[in-house]
Amino acid sequence: MTAPVAIRRLNAADTDFARHLDHLLSWESVSDDGVNQRVLEIIQAVRERGDAALVEYTQRFDGLEVASMADLILPRERLELALTRISAEQRQALEVAAERVRSYHEKQKQDSWRYTEADGTVLGQKVTPLDRAGLYVPGGKASYPSSVLMNAIPAKVAGVPEVVMVVPTPRGEINELVLAAAAIAGVDRVFTIGGAQAVAALAYGTESVPPVDKIVGPGNIYVATAKRHVFGKVGIDMIAGPSEILVVCDGQTDPDWIAMDLFSQAEHDEDAQSILVSPDADFLDRVAESIAKLLPTMERAEIIRTSLEGRGALIQVADMAQAIIVANRIAPEHLELSVADPEAWLPEIRHAGAIFMGRYTAEALGDYVAGPNHVLPTSGTARFSSPLGVYDFQKRSSIIFCSPDGASELGKSASVLARGESLTAHARSAEYRIKP
């Protein structure tokens, strides 16, 4: 007989609720000293020895017998071949998802703008795509073609001329769906390398791997640590923690649906977090029963169990207003408003990576085909961060053009402020342009 799932129950009315919630949400993504030191060594080796270091690390970590860097480069033809190797159903699903992701992100594009003041001074902003973006994709059996679409398509919509993908192929395992997704998304170059060494190659470049301007995409602790270290040399999307879902439910949704929605994040890994908040105590009981009933039917049952028992929770609140307060405190990656009138509560939501409205909008739809990006802020960072988007692959440059009259008038104020800061050259530079 399957053991019951010991998922914690919390009540917002308890005096120590805040402390228990803080403990539940705590997550440290900082690497230990051993991982940190190893990553620094790998980055240094790639900087010093380039392709030779990549070949050596690929042999050691991925168990591949490769003679040279040429064995780690996939031509565009290989991506096109993958399109013929996947099933017609898989190809159609990828193409549907890609079209929806592209259509949504087209609406995020920003245009340059400018305006002219009365004296002829022109001010504005020039929007320019990055020259080259790097996409890290986990390899082997745990591969995510959806992440290829979500990372590469916004870059292409932004106008990035070249998207470079790195994907490890441990023990020679090549995921055809990932390569097919790369073909559909318009990825330009693919290298079968992974780990911290791939991040270092993208950041600093080697004889074969071109340096990029920004690195995006998920990875393990070594990849995340490497991204942290190369930030500054290149841009990065984020240092992501485990996946999260918070479901706010009024108690009227089918409890089996809610249990499966919680499972959908818990099955990612043991550290993923699934939380349900409801004012209906009986409904929380019914969801707990659904969890116990459905768990034995899941392929990843043990991963789900560990996740739910370690980081999951069923939280009772006084009413829907308090549920929203708790949701904003958690600032979840994924927020499901599984309620009768989600529009009524939407204005109250201040912190969430993505908001899924209504009983029928499963978070899983957002992972694959809804259109908005599934690369979202985790670990409470939705308080100050946004989903990955076209804007992450564009730069903004200020435009300033002063007419003679404008330079003269602005120069008077600039001179006063510069002298107030004891920056005489600044002041005199502005004063030269002041009309007598």
Task: Report yes or no: 174 and 150 within 8 Å, Cβ to Cβ.
Answer: no
Known binding residues for substrate: 243, 265, 268, 334, 367, 421, 426
Residues sharing a CB contact under 8 Å with residue 322, sequence separation 6 or more, in sequence order: 12, 279
Sheet holding 273-278, edge to edge: 8-11, 313-316, 273-278, 244-249, 334-338, 354-357
Separation CA 298–CA 145 (nearest Å): 22
Would you list the DSSP string of 223-283? HHHHHHHHBTTBEES----S-EEEEEE-S-S-HHHHHHHHHHHHTT-TT-EEEEEES-HHH
Give 366: exposed, middle or buried? Use CB within 10 Å, 0-12, 13-18, 19+.
Answer: buried
Phi, psi of 430 (to 5 degrees): -70, -40
Residue 207 tokens, joined: 């004889």
Closest CA to 215 of 396, 37, 393: 393
Q: Any idea which residue has 């500054």 for tokens?
A: 232
Separation CA 354–CA 174 (nearest Å): 31
Active site residue 334: yes
Active site residue 244: no
Q: Which of 333, 336, 363, 409 is catalytic?
A: 333
Give the three-class secondary structure for 339.
Answer: coil
Separation CA 64–CA 56 (nearest Å): 10
Strand 122-129, strand 394-401: pairing:
antiparallel
Task: Report yes or no: 113 and 124 within 8 Å, Cβ to Cβ.
Answer: yes
Radius of gyration of the chain (CA): 26
According to DSSP, residue 285 is labeled H
Separation CA 336–CA 355 (nearest Å): 6
Q: Which of 229, 334, 351, 374 is catalytic?
A: 334
Q: Quick one: residue 107, left, alpha or beta (phi over 0 = left, psi -120 to 50 = alpha)?
A: alpha
Task: Report yes or no: 12 and 322 within 8 Å, Cβ to Cβ.
Answer: yes
Known binding residues: 136, 197, 220, 243, 265, 268, 334, 367, 421, 426
Give the three-class secondary structure for 120.
Answer: coil
- According to DSSP, the residues that pair with 11 across neighbouring strands are 316
Q: Any idea which residue has 């993504």 for tokens?
A: 29
Which sequence positions are flagged as catalytic?
A: 333-334
